[in-house]
Amino acid sequence: MSRLWRRPAVLVAITAVLMLAAGIAVGWAASTAAPGNDSAEAGFARDMQTHHQQAVEMAMYEWRNGSDEAMTAIAYDIATSQSAEIGMYRSWLRDWDVQLSSGNPMAWAGEEHEHDTEEAGGLMPGMATDEEMAEFKTLTGTDADVMFAELMIAHHIGGIDMAKAALERSDNALVVDAARRSITVQQSDIDNLQGHLDNILSAVEQ
């Protein structure tokens, strides 16, 4: 009699232990499946936060010192949305338990990119030089609007280049989704920056 209730209890306990073990195994597999320190995913996330940081800096300056309302609006949009993306990249890196910075920018994106970045003194594709940033920060009003548009268009072209490099190298769902969105948003930003720039320049000519 005692066997009838006792044995199910034992078997349920065994099942529970097995399920726990299976859960731990799945958790372990998932954690080991996270991109490693030298992966394209980690490299992309690391370099994009650095890349975005400069865009935020430019956009904050333009927001404060530009005069064209369309241009300062897009600057606000870039400053806030790219700041949010920086947060996203950082939380990936922390989740993956990898370094948040690296001494070899663009190393994940192939030799050509790495070489170009070294040539540019560590500047990733599209990034403004220190001289350019210094010059930009002397400008106000329409001059700032114009240089902001030029710098940001180049910056975004470089950003799209990086996102495409990530798409070629990764099938991580997070990275693929972010890279794709980044390409469409930055492309539409470029079109809008160019449109506003054309409006400003034609107004200046008249």
> Rule CB under 8 A: which residues touch another protein?
2-8, 11-12, 15, 69-71, 73-74, 76-77, 80-82, 84-85, 88, 180-181, 184-185, 188, 191-192, 195-196, 199, 202-203
Is residue 142 a contact partner of residue 109, using CB atoms and an 8 Å limit?
no
Q: Which is nearer to another protein, 72 or 117 (CB)?
A: 72
- Residues in the chain, how many? 206
Q: Which is nearer to another protein, 123 or 155 (CB)?
A: 155
Q: Which is nearer to another protein, 50 or 81 (CB)?
A: 81
Task: Tell whether the torsion through CA atoms of 106, 109, 110 and 116 is positive or negative.
Answer: negative
| Measured distance CA(196)–CA(177) in Å, rounded | 28
Q: What's the min distance (Å) between Cβ of 148 and another protein?
A: 14
DSSP 51-93: HHHHHHHHHHHHHHH---HHHHHHHHHHHHHHHHHHHHHHHHH
Q: What's the min distance (Å) between Cβ of 19 and another protein?
A: 9
Q: What's the min distance (Å) between Cβ of 149 and another protein?
A: 12
Q: Which is nearer to another protein, 15 or 37 (CB)?
A: 15
Q: What's the min distance (Å) between Cβ of 9 and another protein?
A: 8
Q: What's the min distance (Å) between Cβ of 23 and another protein?
A: 13
Residue 39: which residues within 8 A CB-CB, separation 6 or more?
A: 98, 108, 170
Q: Which is nearer to another protein, 27 or 195 (CB)?
A: 195
Burial class (CB in 10 A: 0-12, 13-18, 19+), 176: middle
